[in-house]
Amino acid sequence: MIYRALFDHVLTRTDPERAHHTAFRAIRAGRPVTALLARSVGAPGTPVQALGLTFPNVLGLAAGFDKNAVGIDALAALGFGHVEIGTVTGEGQPGNPTPRLFRLPEDRAVVNRMGFNNDGAEVVAARLKARGRRPGVVLGVNIGKTKVVPDDDQAAVESDYEKSARLLSPYADYLVVNVSSPNTPGLRNLQAVEKLQPLLEHVRRAADQARDTRVPLLVKIAPDLADEDVLGVADMALAIGLDGIIATNTTISRAGLRTPTSKVQEVGAGGLSGRPLTDRSLEVLRLLRGRVGPDLTLIGVGGITTVADAQARLDAGATLLQGYTAFIYEGPLWPRRIVKGVAQ
């Protein structure tokens, strides 16, 4: 309640991107304290076996918060059982012009058009190498397309993703191919199965060549796919032996928002995340589970705010969960609250 009052009356008055960087610095600076507290109270929740790995608990932090792998262990100390870094692209890039991050407090939502701003695969790989392998948190690495690579040049796209897979998969507990952000021109075109399948097969080969052990490979899809396209991705995942699907990324829809239309139009383009995504993300998850059967790993993300939201996603067939926007709105105690609530 204290954090929510602080957020509503103070943080909402500051630039969202500046507030993010300030909060993330505070999380990293506070790691010695949060790590000590985490050790004293023990790991929250119940371990989950998935992807051939043991996840300390069911909840992870979705990609986008830690784009450059600078705060993995500090975030884990807050109670996240896995942290997914990125999206990382083959080449470093500044992303879209600012402002590019916006809050919609009335909807407990965020709109972003960041544009995959990140340091690039080489820099992030060096950072992960220096960090080394550490117990206590599962590390996911989310990779995407460099903006200047044309989406209609399949060979160039595959080469771009291959670079990231080759450099980053040696340090990843699992690898995610992101083809579903709305903020890189043409990226979502790669979700078409005829483009997605050869891309995933190419990434699979590159990852296998880069390390001795097999890294689990997943794909992250958009909530805006038509139902038949969601089922097509499910069929493709089974056909090529994909390890899992993350459902879902942000949406370009603005339907049903409480925020005044004038403000929504002022914010402009970008991916919407948070509470408005809850129903569609749950629906996509149900479609996927019904199609792929009980064994494929499905990670539910999008609009998970309460324990009831988390439980509904698990009941619909999610193996694991992720959050991001609720973490912003609810604060640093949110991960443990969700994990503890689900466990109870």
Q: Tell me, what's the pLDDT at 328?
A: 93
Q: Tell me, what's the pLDDT at 103?
A: 95
β-bridge mates for residue 271, sequence order = 112
Decide: pTM greater than 0.85.
yes
Tokens for 54, please give them: 């043991």
From the list 242, 225, 239, the residue with the least C-alpha distance to 296 is: 242
Residue 318 confidence (pLDDT) above 80? yes
Q: Tell me, what's the pLDDT at 5?
A: 74
Q: Tell me, what's the pLDDT at 155?
A: 97
Q: Tell me, what's the pLDDT at 96?
A: 98
> Range of 122's domain?
2-343
β-bridge mates for residue 140, sequence order = 84, 174
Binding-site residue ranges for substrate: 67, 112-116, 178, 183, 249-250
Q: How far is CA 222 from CA 13, 51, 249, in A?
A: 30, 22, 5
Binding-site residue ranges: 63-67, 87, 112-116, 142, 178, 183, 220, 248-250, 274, 303, 324-325
pLDDT digits (tens, 9 = 90+) for 192-220: 999 999 999 999 999 999 999 999 999 99
pLDDT digits (tens, 9 = 90+) for 78-88: 999 999 999 99
Element (H, E) at 103: strand 101-104
The residue-averaged pLDDT of 125-140 equals: 94
Q: How many helices (H) and strands (E) does the chain have?
A: 13, 13
Q: Tell me, what's the pLDDT at 142?
A: 98
Q: How far is CA 11 from CA 14, 17, 19, 255, 271, in A?
A: 5, 11, 7, 26, 21
From the list 141, 148, 117, 146, the residue with the least C-alpha distance to 127 is: 141
Binding-site residue ranges for FMN: 63-67, 87, 142, 178, 220, 248, 274, 303, 324-325
- The rounded mean pLDDT for the chain is 95
pLDDT digits (tens, 9 = 90+) for 302-312: 999 999 999 99
Element (H, E) at 218: strand 217-221
Tokens for 259, please give them: 């925020």
Q: Tell me, what's the pLDDT at 309?
A: 98
Q: What is the count of structural domains for the chain? A: 1
Tokens for 215, please give them: 């890294």
Q: Tell me, what's the pLDDT at 43?
A: 67
β-bridge mates for residue 177, sequence order = 143, 219
Any idea what the CATH number is for the domain that residue 6 is in?
Answer: 3.20.20.70
Tokens for 143, please give them: 């990779």
* Catalytic-residue membership of 181: yes
The residue-averaged pLDDT of 328-343 equals: 94
Pairwise CA distance, residues 277 & 288, whole Å:
17
Pairwise CA distance, residues 124 & 113, whole Å:
21
Pairwise CA distance, residues 98 & 287, whole Å:
36
DSSP code, position 188 = G
The residue-averaged pLDDT of 45-70 equals: 97
The residue-averaged pLDDT of 165-181 equals: 97
Q: Tell me, what's the pLDDT at 38?
A: 83
Q: Tell me, what's the pLDDT at 308?
A: 98
DSSP code, position 183 = T
Which of 181, 262, 273, 281 is catalytic? The answer is 181
Residue 44 confidence (pLDDT) above 80? no
The residue-averaged pLDDT of 243-252 equals: 98
Q: Tell me, what's the pLDDT at 218?
A: 98
